[in-house]
Structure 1
Amino acid sequence: MRFIIIIFCLLYSNLLFSQKFFIEVVVPNIPSIKGEIQIGLYNKSATFPKVGKEFKTYRYKVTKKRMKFKLTDLPRGFYALALYHDINSDKVCNRNLIGIPTERFGFSNNVKPILSAPSFKSARLILLENKVVEIKLQ
């Protein structure tokens, strides 16, 4: 009997940890119906928000000024999002001479950067169930 209980507990815990969730990202203020939205999903503070170091990257063609994007098959955990409106579809967040982005961008929790990119902790989301987040472009 003890063996059966142990097996049941192991199977149940495996089921809990293997669950997959989604984050639905709502961007309500896209300035024009041109280009693409690129979303970087990060799961480590050491890589946030470094280009090319994302856990997953998503690109979507802009078709409306308010759009929703579903990031699926995500295990529970801590995540942070960084996104930008790639208006000229060159796959780069363009910047001016002093390094300030010239294309609109945003972070989870609508964190506004002051002199540098926000920390992972300030933009962190805890994914324990399906989640809807709104990120306004700055």
Structure 2
Amino acid sequence: MKKLIFSFLLLAVSFGIHAQEFSLKVIVEGVEEQKGTIYLSLHDNEESFPSDNDKAVSTGQITGFGSTAEYTFKNLKKGVYAVSIFQDLNGNNEMDTNFIGIPKEPVGASNLMSFGRPKFSKCKFDLDGDLTIRIEYIN
């Protein structure tokens, strides 16, 4: 009987841990130039957002896309996140900026509706289940 109870508890705990993993689908809309690579980074704090990929929760890349592009982050825990994106048009694997730091390539972030450097506090969203978000470039 003890083995049965232990097995049931082990199964319940295993299911509970697995049930806490979510996916986040990011749909990039309004892609004007269908070339290069779209880089995505997922952050859970304002210190790393939007561009410290070494401290990002996860990163991804999209190649071969049309006017929309999709990427799915998997195995995420419940929490508060923000996504930033940029499209590398010239293939140098970095976001090019002008002499004052303004991006010369398409950029965007979750919930971003205005120009200027994105702030985690404005771009964040809650993830407590599988979720799809849409991001448009800020040109």
Work out whether the TM-score is over 0.5.
Answer: yes
State which of 62, 68, 80 in structure 2 corresponds to 1:78. 80
Identity between Structure 1 and Structure 2 (%): 26
Task: State the number of aligned residues.
Answer: 132
* CA RMSD in angstroms, aligned pairs only: 2.3
Deviations 1:8-59 (A, max 9, x none): 5x97577445421111111111111110100011012221113333221111
- Structure 1 partner of 2:131: 131
Is 1:39 the counterpart of 2:40? The answer is yes
- Structure 2 partner of 1:30: 31
How far apart are the structure 2 equivalents of 1:105 and 1:63?
16
Shift of the 15–45 alpha-carbon distance from structure 1 to 2, 3 Å rule, reads farther
Deviations 1:75-108 (A, max 9, x none): 1111110001111121111001111000010011
Asked whether the 8 Å contact 2:58–2:73 carries over to 1, the reply is no
How far apart are the structure 2 equivalents of 1:123 and 1:72?
20
In structure 1, the residue corresponding to 2:111 is in which secondary structure?
Answer: helix
Code of the residue aligned with 1:125 in structure 2: it is F
Asked whether the 8 Å contact 1:20–1:74 carries over to 2, the reply is yes
Code of the residue aligned with 1:26 in structure 2: it is I
How far apart are the structure 1 equivalents of 2:109 and 2:93?
18
Is 1:49 the counterpart of 2:50? The answer is yes
Q: What 5-or-longer segments of structure 1 have no aligned partner?
A: none
Asked whether the 8 Å contact 2:34–2:65 carries over to 1, the reply is yes
TM value normalised by structure 2: 0.82
Q: What 5-or-longer segments of structure 2 have no aligned partner?
A: none
Is 1:93 the counterpart of 2:95? The answer is yes
Asked whether the 8 Å contact 1:111–1:123 carries over to 2, the reply is no
- Structure 2 partner of 1:103: 105
